Amino acid sequence: MIATGTGEDARLTLRTPASVDIFTRILTHGPIGRIDVGRQTGLSQAAVTKTVAPLLLDGIVAVDRPLAGTVPAGAAPGRPVHPLRVVPSARLVLGVKVNPDEVIGVATGMTAGILHVVRRPLASTSPAAVIGAVASVAEELGLLLGDRASRLIGLGVAVSGDVDTATGIVRDSPLLGWRGVPLAHPLAARLGVPVRVDNDVRALTIAEHWFGVGRDSGSFAVVTIGSGIGCGLYLNDDVVSGAHGVAGELGHLPLASLDAVCVCGRRGCVEAVASSGAVLRAVRAATDAPLLTLAEAAGLAREGVPGAVAAFDRAGTAIGAALAIVANLTGPDTVLVAGEGMQEFELYERTIRTTFAAHAFGAAADCVLVTRAHTFEDWARGAAASLIRAAVRQEF
């Protein structure tokens, strides 16, 4: 159990659709003036002022007042501009990323800035072991927050695979070996706070939409390279969830050789040749070095060892073709390629970009590919962002 006070005080209460829209705009684009909030939400300045008043009274929104003698950049002469901003510390959130060998947790404020980090090794991926580890990490984060834990609004949990966010059930996670595992309910019962379980890549996409590269983007995709190959999509003003909670499963497009067996049990998946584990297995087999680490495999590729180079080239070809499919089907203006596998990105970047250019159709090739390394703390921050968005949208 996390000591959170009454729980009533911490709940984020936005009573009308207008207040949700206004608070979302302030949260994701603040500091921002009332006129700009009205312009961007389509609401009158009077409606904005009326809606903001209780948020100011509650302390979750504040007015940025310029120092004496200063004028905010871009402000017009005349009446001073006092932009609005969300107070990050007014409400706090926990986010946890579940890996097959480790649980990583973070405590954040309302703008998803990381305050504390806790990591726990996993000896087993059994549901009981994972639930126990996630709860332990959340409880330790609560202790680190101390009295601030009374401001907690909930816990977000990010898991790879097919996740039903409405029920909190992990329907299928090949990396964890799970099918039909309830996760949200037992955690909420043990911890005493609302729990939201989401697919890890979708949660990361939510974080990028509200607080990162996609904040001002009309459409974008997040492609992750690591122990799996994932894809999150932001289209038509929202992160795509799919009719059945499955969308953007880039890693399971059948673009590789049918000789390649995927962890999901199927053949020819992108993930079967492009995940970190698949690349490592291919280099080990090609060099007859069964104890080789991924860093050592990357070193061999940098030295030009043919089998190692070929393994990374196969991965780059599959990923590049998959990116082209994403661009051709959805037409994003930006694709963020991220993940822990980015540490070896230069080994297959040329192949990825060449293959993408060869298969992207027409203007889809104008899509900008942005690369960035992500840590597992970033994945946990994504889980927190998913919970933040759900709280703002009054989904629990």
Which residues have CB under 8 Å from 8's CB, separation 6+?
none
Percent of the chain with pLDDT over 70: 93
Token pair belonging to 162: 């097919």
**127-171 tens-digit pLDDT:** 999 999 999 999 999 999 999 999 999 999 999 989 999 999 999
Spatial distance between the Cα atoms of 122 and 187, rounded to a whole number of angstroms: 17
What are the domain boundaries of the chain? Answer: 8-86, 90-206+379-392, 217-374
Given 2.40.30.10, 3.30.1950.10, 1.10.10.10, 3.40.50.300, which CATH number is that of 8-86? Answer: 1.10.10.10
Spatial distance between the Cα atoms of 3 and 11, rounded to a whole number of angstroms: 14
Q: Residue 6: pLDDT band by 50, 70, 90 thresholds?
A: very low
**234-250 tens-digit pLDDT:** 988 888 877 766 677 88
Given 3.60.15.10, 3.40.50.450, 3.90.550.10, 3.30.420.40, which CATH number is that of 217-374? Answer: 3.30.420.40
Give rounded-to-5 percent helix, strand, coil for the chain. 45, 20, 35
- pTM for the model: 0.87
- Same CATH topology for 8-86 and 217-374: the answer is no
> Which helix (H) or strand (E) is 142 found in, with range?
helix 127-145
Phi and psi (nearest 5°) for 370? -110, 135
**111-124 tens-digit pLDDT:** 999 999 999 999 99
CATH architecture of 90-206+379-392: 2-Layer Sandwich (3.30)
Cα distances (Å, whole numbers) of residue 327 to 193, 301, 316: 39, 29, 16
